[in-house]
Amino acid sequence: MQYFVTGATGFIGRRLVRKLLARRGSTVHFLMREESAAKLPELLAYWGVSKARAIPVYGDLTARKLGVAGDVLKSLKGKIDHLYHLAAVYDLGADEESQVAVNIEGTRSMVEFAQAIDAGHVHHVSSIAAAGLYEGVFREDMFEEAENLDHPYFMTKHESEKIVRKECKRPWTVYRPALVVGDSTTGEMDKIDGPYYFFKLIQRMRQILPPWMPSVGLEGGRINIVPVDFVVNALDHISHKVSKGQGCYHLVDPQGYRVGDVLDIFSKAAHAPKMNLFINAALMGFIPKSVKKGLMALAPVRRIKNAVMKDLGIPEDMLTFINYPTRFDCRDTEAALKGSGIACPDLNDYAWRLWDYWERHLDPALFIDRSLRGTVGGKVVLVTGGSSGIGLAAAIKFAEAGAVTLICARDEVKLGEAVKEIKAAAGKDAQIHSFACDIADEAGCADLMAWIAENFGSVDFLIN
């Protein structure tokens, strides 16, 4: 059997290609940008095949007919049994322009390509986001009923699915996966996304509070999470089972959990305090929007909120899901998978693997440069008493580490000599500046602050 896959280098795509190649006599053609050709040996090694079975087709998702050359289109015509479209922007925080270009125009380009090569069956991997923020249960036969599509991610997922439904002339099937997390057997994941954004918060709770101390969590709406291996296995099985087109399958967890339960499950996996009391986040809805908007307009409130969110690595868009109102029916998917042995595992059974993999491989703290250069490089460091002794020695260290080093002391002559000594030690490119003043004098301090504000804006580190 011959396949064509877009998004084959992505987290889901590369696993789907490996699954398809496991079928006897299969060949996979996959879309690849020419400038990404250097990744080919790594991909072939991951799939365990040669270029004879995994064939790169160079093109561009955002160009007409995927930007595939005319002679290649002719060579593929009538030969592709199944076309899987997985290429998309999966980042909630991505800008609207890039999401429109990839999710909407990329899908239209894929549909044109499918028509040009007479693809046997088009399998479009959409998302539960295509339902928007629908209030209630969203069934697999629903589409136009989607509500609240204001967010670019929801809007582009909905519009891309509409293109397949309205414009695709080949037999097609749509798949809507839930929030995809790592492999349920290994925990492997390629990036921080979805529930992973809350892992740092859970880790902080574990560091601050003893595990026996109960904590308070938000109850929130239902959030649907599925492991990548379930998505790939279900997609592979259903796509080879369906004979007629125009169907839709929800690749979701039939059970699903509330946001608070998800946080509690991962808290247990992390050996963090158990959440014994849950507050319904919907209760915050009684506060008038004008009041909430007014509070967030206050600079101190906004700064504190932004600082906390940044420190925990939680994007603002994630707050949209705290009261996520949609539940997803998946009876058609369950019927298609009946007897296959494929089912979405319970989050309780594999959450510990996801946590373990994140803490070993994805925790942002693992990638922080804790050296002096990593801490002060490019930052503004002010050293008082920097013309001699410990102050001068410290200033030399900071300048050597790439800091913008400011030194102040009363004696201007000594300051000049100190600058020369620092440059001799740290190199001629060292950024070293001096200001003569007596920090015991209020007027002198005011002059120093004015000089710093005018030339450097602010100070990151003060060494007194």
How far is the C-alpha of 440 from the C-alpha of 167, rounded, in Å? 76
CA 140 to chain centroid, in Å, comes to 26
The predicted model gives 75-86 an average pLDDT of 97
Instruction: Give CATH for domain 372-462.
Output: 3.40.50.720
Which DSSP state fits 191? S
Q: Which CATH topology does 1-177 take?
A: Rossmann fold (3.40.50)
| pLDDT of 312 over the 60 cut | no
Encode pLDDT of 434-444 as tens digits.
Answer: 999 998 899 99
Give me the sign of the Cα torsion angle 436, 440, 441, 443. positive
Q: How confident is the model at residue 194 (pLDDT cuts 50, 70, 90)?
A: confident
The predicted model gives 130-139 an average pLDDT of 95
123 close to 83: Cβ distance less than 8 angstroms = yes
Token pair listed for 215: 């904590």
Encode pLDDT of 246-281 as tens digits.
Answer: 899 999 999 889 888 898 899 999 998 877 655 555
Q: What's the confidence (pLDDT) of residue 142?
A: 96
How far is the C-alpha of 250 from the C-alpha of 140, rounded, in Å? 6
Q: How confident is the model at residue 323 (pLDDT cuts 50, 70, 90)?
A: confident
| CA neighbor of 126 nearest in space, from 171, 89, 75 | 89
| pLDDT of 340 over the 80 cut | yes
The answer for 353, left when phi > 0, alpha when psi is -120 to 50, beta otherwise, is: alpha
Q: Could you give the residue range(s) of every CATH 3.40.50.720 domain in the chain?
A: 1-177, 372-462
Q: What's the confidence (pLDDT) of residue 178?
A: 96
**409-439 burial by CB neighbour count: b if 16+ within 10 A, else e?**
beeeebbeebbebbbeebeeebbbbbbbbee
Encode pLDDT of 397-424 as tens digits.
Answer: 999 999 999 999 999 999 999 999 999 9
Encode pLDDT of 349-402 as tens digits.
Answer: 999 999 999 999 999 989 888 899 999 999 999 999 999 999 999 999 999 999
For residue 397, count other CB atoms closer than 10 A to its CB: 18
Helix, strand, coil abundance in the chain, percent, nearest 5: 50, 15, 35
* Mean pLDDT of the residues in the chain: 90
User: Please, where are the H alpha helices in 60-194?
Assistant: 70-76, 96-99, 106-116, 152-167
Q: What's the confidence (pLDDT) of residue 320?
A: 64
| CA neighbor of 17 nearest in space, from 31, 34, 38 | 31
Query: What end-to-end distance do the CA atoms of the chain give, in Å?
Result: 72
- DSSP, collapsed to helix, strand or coil, labels residue 98 as helix
Which DSSP state fits 377? T
Q: How confident is the model at residue 243 (pLDDT cuts 50, 70, 90)?
A: confident
Q: How confident is the model at residue 333 (pLDDT cuts 50, 70, 90)?
A: very high
Tell me which amino acid residue 160 is: S
Residue recorded with tokens 């007897």: 339
**Percent of residues, the chain, with pLDDT higher than 90:** 74
- Give the helix/strand (H/E) hosting 299: helix 299-312
Q: What's the confidence (pLDDT) of residue 322?
A: 74
Q: Which residues pair with 328 in a beta bridge?
A: 138
| pLDDT of 292 over the 90 cut | no
- 43's CB contacts (< 8 A; 6+ apart) are 8, 9, 14, 54
Token pair listed for 139: 């069934």
Tell me which amino acid residue 40 is: L
